[in-house]
A and B are shown apart, each in its own frame.
Chain A
Amino acid sequence: MNMKKTTKTICTLIAAAAFIVLLVFLESNKNKYGMAVTVLQKGFILAVVAVSMNLLNGFTGLFSLGQAGFMALGAYTYAIFTIPVESRASVYYISGMNPVLAGIELPMLVALVAAGLMAAAFAAVIGFPVLRLKSDYLAIATLGFSEIIRALIASPQMDTITNGSYGLKSIPAASIYVVVGLCIICIAIMALLINSSFGRAFKAIREDEIAAEAMGINLLKHKELAFVISSFFAGIGGGLLAMFMRSIDSSTFKIAMTYDILLIVVIGGMGSITGSVLSALLVTASKEWWLRFFDEPLTIAGVNIPLFRNGFRMVIFSILLMVVVLFYRRGIMGTSEFSWEGLTGLIKSIPSRVTSLFHKKEGAAR
């Protein structure tokens, strides 16, 4: 099934145009579609972090669980440098702000790059000892690092810099165009990197370290590179999250955050960029929006259904996750990427899939 190149370009352009129209529509009807606006922004931000985690876990084969820590570094760096100087006194009302930092206010983009660099710098330093570890041990070491960062940020000794456990607020807002646009740029940069010869070297390391080394790929150098780049974008993701939420708190960056991201990566497919993006949007939408009605009390024919109450949506969400993992063992996309051929192939195969589902039951057991 080969589509003409022009047809594909036209499809892509139409999709891009439709997306822009959607953004404009949502921005001008913000109050009516508040939930969609929130989900789209949060989904894209999580997509950036998920792709950065995929770069490390899916493409380079390094099982790292430090994403939340790097996000925290990015979020705090971004917040500290962008809170307007005049509102800093009210934010740091407990112990005041460190005099060195108090006068520095950076433009949004500069602060965002600084957020990425801060995370990357920490990654570079801990990478040398930590990346000598393999699989589970690496996961535990990075998990520990992430918790240390969170504990440091929340500690009273850091009050004048991070405002300790009180969190930071009054972070300037940005429009949906800025947030989504920046996310797309970050994802595009990572996609280009993965498709370059560096990306091939990362995949070679994932596949077979010994063979990769024999081909002249310096293992430690490339692992370090993947780790630093992944952390850089996790830091940017944290900065974007701060930009979107407008107030941050160290408890946002608990281990649960890393698990959320890992879940997105696994559902989307380890080793698929489009899978991570798709899954970030789907997971965020179902968690925050589509399953909301499970939390509302429900009355059918005068009978109050007892299960429908606050928190029930998370039960449904977990069940859905299990179903997805059971039926798509390698995630929605596996290791393949989205293509127009794949989409048309999928649509064309739906009738035969449905009939096979009814004709032989063993199809589902596979």
Chain B
Amino acid sequence: MSKNLLEIKDLSVSYGGIRAVKGISFEVPEGEVVTLIGANGAGKSSTLRSIAGLEKPAGGSILFDGKELVQMGTEQIVTTGITLVPEGRRVFPNLSVLENLKIGAYQRKDSLDQDIAWIYGLFPRLEERSWQMAGTLSGGEQQMLAIGRALMSKPKLIMMDEPSLGLAPIVVQGVFDIIKEINKQGVTILLVEQNANMALKAAHRAYVMETGKITLSGTGKELAENEEVKAAYLGKAKNK
């Protein structure tokens, strides 16, 4: 049994009195792919944003590698080893692919050449387009760039907010292959997805969120076979 890299306890997030996340607890063990699935507005993105320090949690604790993150700013959290791939890719459109990657490593002061070579190894398409403006890439390539950019900070944990959003099915398959590949190379992954089918297949462990609470948890396989999950998220009718 591997140790927990990230431990969330009673985390809640509020937006002006509205509680988006209502005291959730979950763990992300080191070296695994963990996914949070759920409908729109379930609080998945808010959870990721508060772990990344972009949103101040209203309460609870976030322990990463034994360190409390709640009081930290995003810069420190990135330095500690967590990076968020934001929803909707959000690459810097008028900067080149290479510049985008370099900004990903902004908090690092050491040499980047090796890591750029690593990213280009993972995504050969990005190397071909090294000098192209990121805004001219296709949706799939932009998602690759967003993931590559996040990896440039050498994170122990990478959090991805809906990496399959707005991509063609064949491209989505490519993104999930990359997720598995990155995981194999030792990066722990916390994945938020609406594409429950793909996410559950890729994940070692999964949690289902509904209106700010975690309602179900288990291994990816268990949840994929769970009747309620099937009915609600996988578009399959309950067997009566």
Contact = CB atoms under 8 A, between A and B. Distances in A.
Interface in B80-127: 83-84, 86, 90-95, 99, 102-104, 106-107
Given A211-B91, A216-B153, A200 B86 contact: no
B153 A215 contact: yes
Contacts of A207: 92-95
A215 B149 contact: yes
Interface residues of A, number: 18
B52 interface: yes
A201 interface: yes
A274 to B, nearest CB: 17
Interface string A193-223: 0000100110110011011111111100000
B182 interface: no
A335 interface: yes
A208 B134 CA distance: 12
Contact of B99 (A203, A210, A214): A203
B177 interface: no
Contacts of A215: 78, 83, 103-104, 106-107, 149-150, 153
A207 B149 CA distance: 15
A236 B78 CA distance: 37
Interface stretch (B2-10, B24-32, B69-77, B193-201): B69-77
Contacts, number: 70
A213 B95 contact: no
Contacts of A208: 90-93
B79 interface: yes
A210 B86 contact: yes
Given A197-B102, A210-B86, A216 B107 contact: yes
Given A207-B92, A335-B94, A216 B78 contact: yes
A211 B106 contact: no
A204 B105 CA distance: 12
A213 B150 CA distance: 12
A218 B92 contact: no
A71 B232 CA distance: 63
A197 B106 contact: yes
Nearest 7 interchain pairs by C-beta: A216-B78, A207-B92, A211-B90, A216-B107, A216-B75, A204-B103, A214-B84
29 contacts: A197-B106, A200-B99, A200-B102, A201-B106, A203-B92, A203-B103, A204-B92, A204-B103, A207-B94, A208-B90, A208-B91, A210-B86, A211-B90, A211-B91, A211-B92, A213-B74, A214-B74, A215-B78, A215-B83, A215-B103, A215-B104, A215-B149, A216-B74, A216-B78, A216-B79, A216-B83, A217-B103, A218-B75, A271-B94
Interface of A: 197, 200-201, 203-204, 207-208, 210-218, 271, 335
Interface of B: 52, 54, 73-75, 77-79, 83-84, 86, 90-95, 99, 102-104, 106-107, 149-150, 153
